[in-house]
Structure 1
């Protein structure tokens, strides 16, 4: 067995036995970090396995969306980001990335809504995107609306 997978397997084994305790949460975080060590072609299947185990973890859906977006798989990325947004509404980074996926799918009205939500969320919390490009894109989308 691949030794890189052992931490992920440990995460799954402890899920039922220790749901909710601090040790369990530590294993979840460790499993998320271990994903970065996997080859790119294995990350998606492991993320999907982790999501099956922890369907309510918005960060896992967000990471899956990022992985799919990097591969330009916009419909799937949109779905993953929408799931993350459902689980963690109002998070500016989720709104931002969902807006980008919608933008690529030429769903400009919905993209504009999520760009605006990302800006609103950024005014009240942490975010990891650059404001000027977001504001420029939102301005272009709104200027092009009939």
Structure 2
């Protein structure tokens, strides 16, 4: 899949124009998705030095993106954009500004890995909680045991 990922509020806490603290498991989950051959695009409102800082923040943590604010790595960026938006062709967008709120990164990984919608993920979660007498292993334990 091609996955577009927002930066502020998704990979790091909102502190724009500063860079906030990393949201727990964001980088680790994105690196795991890359290891599974998904293409990641950094999709952010940041530009110029602020964008460079975000890219460097991720790079220092071992996360390199397939493309940045573009559909592919060498896509030319117009000097005079005709509109202030960037339209990406992605299979999935991970952004804290979606309807509702950003699920935790464990839930995001499990939904992608299993091909579930958020609604299905929640119903599976609540169903397993009500049907089991024993506490279920955490997603992170299940994910890393595979």
Give the TM interval when normalised to the shorter protein. under 0.3
As a proportion of its length, which structure holds more helix?
1
As a proportion of its length, which structure holds more strand?
2
TM norm structure 2: 0.25
